[in-house]
Each structure stands twice: as C-alpha cells, then as structure tokens.
Chains A and B, each alone.
Chain A
C-alpha cells in the first residue's frame, strides 16, 4: 500500500512540474541540448589536456596484468603469481590500461584507454617462490585423506611511472 502511495506522490511531482509534462519538455529541448553537449564535451577535453600539461597531481591507472586488475601509481610494488617470463632488472611497459586518472578527472577505457595515451612502466625486482602452502583434504568417515604442498612462482614489480600524454581524443598517427 505504502509503495503505491509513494509511486503516486512521485507521479504527482513529475507531472505537476510543467505544463506539458516530462515528455513534452524533453521533445522541445532535443536539438539545442545536443549542441550544448558537444560544446561542453570539447571544453571538458580541453581542460583535461591543460591539466595534464600542468601536471598538478599524481596519476594512477588500473592495469590488466595476468588476468588480474591492479590499481597502480608511481613507486608501487606488485606481486604477480604464476609463471611469467620477464627476468630481474627488465624494464617493461604495461599496455593494457583500463582506466587512467589524476586527482581531478578519470579517463575510462572501453575497455582499454586509447593506445599511447597512457604509459605505465615497471621494473622486475625479484623472482622467487611463495611460502609453502598446504593443500589438505579430508573426508570424514570415508578413510580419505590427502596432503599436498605447493609453492607458486612470484614476481615482484616496481611501478616506475604512470604518465598521461596531453592528447586526449587526438587521432592516432596512422589515421591522419
């Protein structure tokens, strides 16, 4: 009962607001709204590009690495598990960037941010094995018991830099 009442209340507020109701308002404003949105889009992109050039704050990015997503910023440490070829001292560029952001704005990829816009570089610091993990199985009253021990390969990464180039929405070179 209360649900219906609240629903009606909402209806009343929606339809009493203007003469023609919500739909008519929507229909009359379509064309100028589109124009406006394009202008604001351009302005926003310009402001973002200016902000990137000024470098006011620290950047962070969300990268996709070996099936996992990591939020990285300058100087972070990551530990990646499983077999991974890079060896110690290697400098690598992490290219699957799902999101890049500064303090004031975020660039969200669909699913990836445009290539060459964000560069995330990392150094492989250490490759070792994890502690011994015990994998113990037991079924009650069934005379079943197994114990296994396993150690996973671990690679430690230092994130050196997360940089955003000041060319949001720029066309890629091969298209021009």
Chain B
C-alpha cells in the first residue's frame, strides 16, 4: 500500500500564525470530556476527572475545560484548536494512565497533526543563503572569454599520477641533490 493509494491528506510543515517567533501560544483552546456516571467504559475517564483534571485546568489557564456527563454513552474527549481543528477521540475502556497520556498529546499538539502525511520534515523561507551551486560556481572567470577549444581548458588533468611521471620526479629529485655537490 503506497502513499498514492492511501486516502490521506499530505502536506508540508507549517505553524499557525508564526507561532514561536516572538512568543509561544498554546494551540489547544477547548477540551470537552464526555462521560457516563455509571457505566464501566467511563471508569478510566472518571478516575482522571477525579484525580488529575483540577491540576490540568490550573496548569493550563488558557485552555477551557468542559465536562459533559451523559447517560449510558461511551466516553469521548474532544479537543479544539486555535486553527479551527477539532480532534475527536474515544476513551472507551481506556485506563487512567492511558487517558493521561492521550490528553497530554492533545494538549501539546498544534491541531490535527496526525491527519496529514508530512512530505518534508523541514520548512525554510530562505532555501539558499550563499546562492545555489552551479557548474560554474568556483570556476576561474577566465573561462568566460576563452575561445574553445582551448588547450588549457581542454587538457585532461584528471588522471592520477602515472608510474612514468613518478619516475621522472624521482629522477629530478636525484638531480637536485647531485647539483650542489658539483658546484
């Protein structure tokens, strides 16, 4: 199953309203906990409400928390974000610790992040500072006015040093050593 066959939105990395440039704003605005007071499926969510919800609300004064008891229906958490996203999550038969973790995820993410497949993991307004590389980037500007074919630019100097060349250099080295003695 490839990405082209999945019915999944794809997108690029974005942050709403230049978030984090000057200051950071928590993107979660409202969270609604729906649960039943008597059913066993809501047990974990009820535990969470009893033990952790007050701490959550006091630690996050920018988040509006609603509780919605409803008879004989399964528990649900709905989170709404500053960019208009709404994330619905069933909490049926989830334990207290699982719910704590999921609500932490809902609090820290910046919208319905997992609904899109990221195509790139980086975003920049300035893809190149020093200029994009071209084949002529670090070349001698003499090439611009040269008339081709030119023996200087056409020379094949990409070969490694051959044995003959090495021998010649060794010979020359010897010569240099001998010369001063003669003089």
- Chain B residue at smallest Cβ distance from A27: B176
**Pairwise interchain contact A126-B110, C-beta atoms closer than 8 A:** yes
A73 in complex: contacting residue of B13, B19, B115, B124, CB < 8 Å = B124
Does chain A have a CB within 8 A of B42? no
Residues in chain B near residue A27, CB distance under 8 A:
176
Interface flags, B17-48, vs A, CB<8A=1, else 0: 00111001011000000000000000000000
Given A10-B157, A158-B15, A160-B20, check contact A128 B105 (CB 8 Å): yes
Task: Please tell me if A42 contacts chain B, counting CB pairs below 8 Å.
Answer: no
A59 neighbours in B (Cβ, 8 Å): 129
Inter-subunit contact B8/A89 (CB<8 Å):
no
Contact A88 B124 (CB under 8 A): no
A102 touches B (CB below 8 Å): yes
Complex partner residue of A128 from B14, B108, B123, CB under 8 angstroms: B108
Given contacts A11-B164, A125-B15, A158-B19, contact A78 B130 (CB under 8 A): no
Determine the distance from Cα of A6 to Cα of B157 in the docked complex, in whole angstroms: 8
Beta-carbon contact of B14 and A77 below 8 Å: yes
Q: Assess whether A20 is in contact with B176, with CB atoms less than 8 Å apart.
A: yes
Are B114 and A129 within 8 A (Cβ)?
yes
- CB of B123 within 8 A of CB of A76, answer yes
Most A CB contacts (10 A, CB to CB) among B20, B125, B129, B157 go to: B20
Given contacts A88-B108, A151-B114, contact A75 B121 (CB under 8 A): no
Interface pair A23/B109, CB less than 8 Å apart: no
CA distance A89 to B172 in the complex (A): 69
Query: Of A47-55, A108-116, A130-138, which stretch is located at the interface?
Result: A130-138
CA distance A6 to B14 in the complex (A): 55
Main SS at interface, chain A:
mixed
- Kindly list chain B residues whose C-beta atoms are within 8 Å of the C-beta of A3: 159
Among B130-166, those with CB < 8 Å from A are: 130, 155-157, 159, 162, 164-165
Contact B122–A23 (Cβ < 8 Å):
no
User: Main secondary structure on chain B at its contact with chain A?
Assistant: loop
A7, A59, A76, A102 interface centre (most CB from chain B within 10 Å):
A7
A23, B176: Cβ atoms under 8 Å?
Answer: yes
> B162 contacts A7, CB within 8 Å?
yes
Whether A103 touches B109, Cβ cut-off 8 Å, given contacts A7-B162, A125-B24, A136-B1, is no
Would you give the shortest CB distance from A71 to chain B, in whole angstroms? 8
Contact of B21 among A7, A106, A160 (CB under 8 A): A160
Q: Mark B156-183, 1 if CB is under 8 A from A, else 0.
A: 1101001011001100110010000000
Q: Is the CB of A7 within 8 A of B109?
A: no
Query: A3-B159, A24-B172, A77-B15 provided; 19 other pairs, C-beta below 8 A?
Result: A6-B159, A7-B164, A10-B159, A15-B172, A20-B172, A21-B169, A23-B173, A57-B129, A58-B129, A79-B13, A87-B108, A88-B108, A101-B129, A103-B129, A123-B20, A123-B24, A126-B108, A126-B113, A134-B1
- 19 A-B pairs within 8 Å (CB atoms) are namely A10-B157, A11-B168, A23-B169, A58-B126, A60-B129, A73-B124, A76-B124, A79-B118, A89-B24, A103-B130, A126-B27, A126-B113, A128-B108, A128-B110, A130-B113, A134-B1, A136-B1, A154-B113, A156-B13
